[in-house]
Chain A
């Protein structure tokens, strides 16, 4: 990569980290026009988001700033999707949604944004999603990962049923769960492959669950 290309990627990263939406979109366009690969531009966007994600982990940034950063990354990725790149293959698909009866989508939206920025293809089903809708979406999109969110103790109890339903037809799909009333032990009890406490750890926890499942030879 040339010095100019590296410089452009650094600028994209900085624009995302400073949650400058317009700047991110302009720089993304410029990078693609300059011939950078889609993969590299996506990496730059992801790096920008991860800078703030690390800051969130060490409490040097707060959720509102992180949300604005996700907006910048999402807009950059939306611009990126307007370009085609034959070299950009092998993206994993995640189906994500909030379980039936639960209207809280903040956590799910944050996690969706993080997944997208980190290169996953995200199919967001929104809130109040029934088991059969999750199952259909996983099958139709051949999703490698299903991510379930619940913010209330009264709605998280749907999770075991959703997990059983999806497992029957899609045994290879890695199922992640998250939300305020859950912890890792409840996730295990419900039959999930992984649990993430927050956006800070979700990517690493998902990778860990994918590896674990691959080692078991199911995926």
Chain B
């Protein structure tokens, strides 16, 4: 519930020319504004800000908003290598802004790479020129079970990559202003551990030594909370937590709720206290919507596949669409191999299933593939404009 302090913060943000997070405003005001915008959307085009506001209030906008999640692919537009995109916050910000300006859409989800947090915890990374940064898997920080408890918190002020990322968000937020919502991104504690241990060993450790894994999660969570708070302070509307392992591609639901669930809850709670919306990204197969909602109470979930308890998009919409903003779920292989027209056809099907009643953002199931043809991202934006 927004209080007076939050409203002042919203006013201050507005004065800076930045869209305030809807979480800063009281529900009655948001509902009134959302209702008015929704009504106006029936007769005229809404601005991106209005459209997102209406969507977040689960009302029908003039058309479905679109977020093509152009991240690493954006650096192609400004002629930089992936290594430069990862290392230089100004290049990263410029890439996201270029993707938004040239391709379009209503918002930006700013994912640089999934190793940012692990790098600051001391994980050695490899930065290829044409592909995403990744850990040097021959030299993981956590080599054995006892290393989980040896992991020490880091000084966030000295965390070069997390600080750089936050700076990039700050630049983006100010460059985009009211033209588009910006969402920050962080990898959940198990994701960070995955980068420092390797997936195979981490998975097995979760079954055989859950207490040790949780001890490391606790250490990491403290730093992630600072990271999340810094993202909120940069002016983003939402911070997205990636909890990939809450899916059939990760742990069982029970084990995820035991190991990562409590820590994800702490991070989500810190984001809300800062007056930002909580988003969840999970591109796993059979994702656990219910468990993640119990843990993080997110406003929105970005997903690639149907959740474990739904057998169709329509069922998903019926079960979760009235209280969770659904962000998805265009298949990324289709964006790589398909023609723009095929992409538009698929977008239309998903809009038909997920858009009625509002609360839906057309988007790929994951980051737009870095080397996929960018006309397919444009096809998504165009589909959102055409297929109301």
Which residues does A use to contact B, with CB under 8 Å?
59, 61-65, 67-68, 71, 101, 103-106, 109, 127, 152-155, 157, 181-183, 185-186, 189
In contact, A152 and B132 (Cβ under 8 angstroms): yes
Q: Are B369 and A153 in contact (CB under 8 A)?
A: yes
**Contact mask B248-266 → A, CB, 8 Å, 1/0?**
1111100100000000000
Q: Give the top 4 A-B pairs by smallest Cβ distance, nearest first.
A: A153-B369, A64-B203, A154-B131, A62-B252
Contact residues in B for A189 (Cβ distance below 8 Å): 337
Partner of A103, one of B126, B248, B250, B371: B126
Contacts of B248 in A (CB 8 A): 59, 62-63
A-B Cβ contacts below 8 A, count:
75
Q: Is the CB of B286 within 8 A of A59?
A: yes
Q: Is the CB of B308 within 8 A of A59?
A: yes
Of B131, B200, B249, chain A has the most CB atoms within 10 Å of the CB of B200
Contact A63 B249 (CB under 8 A): yes
B332 within 8 A of A: yes
Q: Which of B131, B207, B370, B371 contacts A64 (CB 8 A)?
A: B207
B residues 279-338 touching A (CB-CB < 8 Å)? 286, 308, 331-334, 336-337
- Min CB distance A160 to B, Å, is 12
Contacts of B87 in A (CB 8 A): none
**B-to-A contact residues, CB < 8 Å:** 126, 128, 130-132, 134-135, 137, 198-200, 203-204, 206-208, 248-252, 255, 286, 308, 331-334, 336-337, 369-372
Q: Find the residue from A61, A62, A106, A155 having the highest chain B CB count within 10 A.
A: A62
Query: How near does chain A come to B307, taking the closest CB pair, in angstroms?
Result: 12
Q: Which residues of A contact B370 (CB under 8 A)?
A: 153-154
Chain A contacts of B132 at CB under 8 A? 152, 154
Given contacts A62-B252, A63-B249, A64-B255, contact A154 B130 (CB under 8 A): yes
Q: Could you list 21 examples of A-B contacts with CB < 8 Å?
A: A62-B251, A62-B255, A63-B250, A63-B251, A64-B203, A64-B206, A64-B207, A68-B204, A68-B207, A101-B131, A103-B137, A105-B137, A153-B372, A154-B132, A154-B370, A181-B333, A183-B331, A183-B334, A183-B337, A185-B337, A186-B337
Give the CA-CA distance A101 to B332 in the complex, in Å. 20
A106 touches B207 (CB 8 A): no
Pick the residue among A64, A182, A185 that contacts B251 (CB under 8 A): A64
User: Could you tell me the distance between the alpha carbons of A71 and B252 in the complex, rounded to whole angstroms?
Assistant: 19
Given known A-B contacts A152-B131, A182-B333, A189-B337, A67 and B204 have beta carbons under 8 A apart = yes
For B73, give the chain A residue with the smallest CB separation: A153
| Inter-subunit contact B333/A186 (CB<8 Å) | yes
CB distance from A81 to the nearest CB of B (A): 22
Check A103 against B251 for contact (C-beta < 8 Å): no
Q: Which residues of chain B have C-beta atoms less than 8 A from A62's C-beta?
A: 248, 250-252, 255
Pair A154/B371 contact, Cβ less than 8 Å: yes
A127 to B136, CA, bound (A): 12
Tell me the complex Cα distance, A71–B207, Å. 14
A127 and B134 CA atoms in complex are apart in Å by 14
Contact B371 A153 (CB under 8 A): yes
Nearest-CB distance from A195 to chain B (Å)? 11
Tell me, rounded to whole Å, the shortest Cβ–Cβ distance linking B81 to chain A.
Answer: 12
Shortest Cβ distance from B300 into chain A, in angstroms? 23
With A64-B207, A68-B204, A154-B370 given, can you name 12 additional A-B contacts, CB distance below 8 Å? A61-B252, A62-B255, A63-B248, A63-B250, A65-B207, A67-B203, A68-B207, A71-B204, A104-B199, A154-B130, A182-B333, A186-B333
Q: Which residues from B are CB-within-8-Å of A64?
A: 203-204, 206-207, 251-252, 255
| Also in contact, A185 and B252, with CB within 8 A (given A68-B207, A153-B369) | no
Counting chain B CB atoms within 10 Å of each CB, the highest count among A67, A71, A155, A181 belongs to: A181
With a CB–CB cut-off of 8 A, which chain A residues contact B249? Answer: 63
Residues of A within 8 A of B137 (CB): 103, 105, 127
Q: Which residues of B contact A152 (CB under 8 A)?
A: 131-132
A63–B371 touching, CB < 8 Å: no
B107 CB to closest chain A CB, in angstroms?
Answer: 22
Find out whether the CB atom of B337 lies under 8 angstroms from the CB atom of A153.
no
